[in-house]
Amino acid sequence: MGGDLMRWPRLPTSWFLPRSFDVLGMLRAQLVLVEQGMRVLNRWGHGEVATHDASAELRVVAEAARVARRDLHHAVRDSFSTPIEAEDLFELGERLGEITEAGYALIRESELSCSGPTCLAPDPYLVGLLDSLADAAVPLAEGLRALPGGAAAKYADRAIEALSGAEHAYRAAIADLENEPDVRRELRRRELYRRAEHLHAAILRVARRTGYSVYKSR
């Protein structure tokens, strides 16, 4: 009988050692790409990088963010346990992806207005919008990096408060369109403002989900 026992196959170790991945680390890696994209937009708004170059950079960032989001989702699905609820990690990954996609859509819209090497430069209203969004992205990033701690919700609230500046900038931009004499230029400006508003909404969704993921776990 002792010999029979020796011949029994070993049980798979995975039954006793379920896998867990550093899902928060993967979320923060995706956040780094979001921050990179926001910096490109800010440099473009202030004339530090040409539209075509900014579009090329953001295209690379958006593709890398899609890969990072997919990897995060796979890791969350395969993890035995996660530091915050799996649903929140899925949602945060998706919504961070919306930020990079919205940023790329904005720069692509500007690129479509280019005639040869000449492009419609960001006007002061759009620059103000982008600056306000960049300001809000700072506490947003701090909040995501603070997860799963309670401070994450406080940073998320600060990001939401900072977004009020973007709302004021958007209203001022739309109001100024009445003073635009060139109809084609007005349409182009309006579409750029609309794309910036999409970026605003994407940042807001991440901030709200960050706060929600903390509040419901308390």
User: Which pLDDT band, with edges at 50, 70 and 90, does 17 fall under?
Assistant: low
User: Which pLDDT band, with edges at 50, 70 and 90, does 12 fall under?
Assistant: low
State pTM to two decimals.
0.88
* Residue 136 reports pLDDT greater than 80: yes
Please state, rounded to an integer, the average pLDDT across all residues of the chain. Answer: 91
Tokens encoding 38: 């926001």
Helix (H) and strand (E) counts in the chain:
7, 0
* Residue 70 reports pLDDT greater than 70: yes
What pLDDT score was predicted for residue 83?
A: 92
What pLDDT score was predicted for residue 9?
A: 58
* Residue 135 reports pLDDT greater than 70: yes
Cβ-proximal residues to 101 (8 Å cutoff; 6+ apart), any chain: 62, 65, 202
Residue ranges of the domains in the chain? 19-215
Query: Is residue 153 a contact partner of residue 215, using CB atoms and an 8 Å limit?
Result: yes
Tokens encoding 98: 């919306």
- How far, in Å, are 50, 107, 129, 173, 195 from residue 168 at the CA level? 27, 21, 9, 9, 16
CATH topology assigned to domain 19-215: Methane Monooxygenase Hydroxylase; Chain G, domain 1 (1.20.58)
What pLDDT score was predicted for residue 19?
A: 76
Tokens encoding 22: 């550093």
Tell me the pLDDT tens digit for each residue of 151-195. 999 999 999 999 999 999 999 999 999 999 999 999 999 999 999
- How far, in Å, are 24, 43, 122 from residue 48 at the CA level? 33, 5, 11
What pLDDT score was predicted for residue 91?
A: 97
Query: Is residue 133 a contact partner of residue 38, using CB atoms and an 8 Å limit?
Result: yes
**Which string of DSSP letters, residue by residue, matches 104-167?**
HHHHHHHHHT-BTTB--PPPHHHHHHHHHHHHHHHHHHHHHHHTTSTHHHHHHHHHHHHHHHHH
Asked, as a colleague might, if the bond just before 148 is cis with ω within 30 of 0, I would say yes
Tokens encoding 145: 């990096």
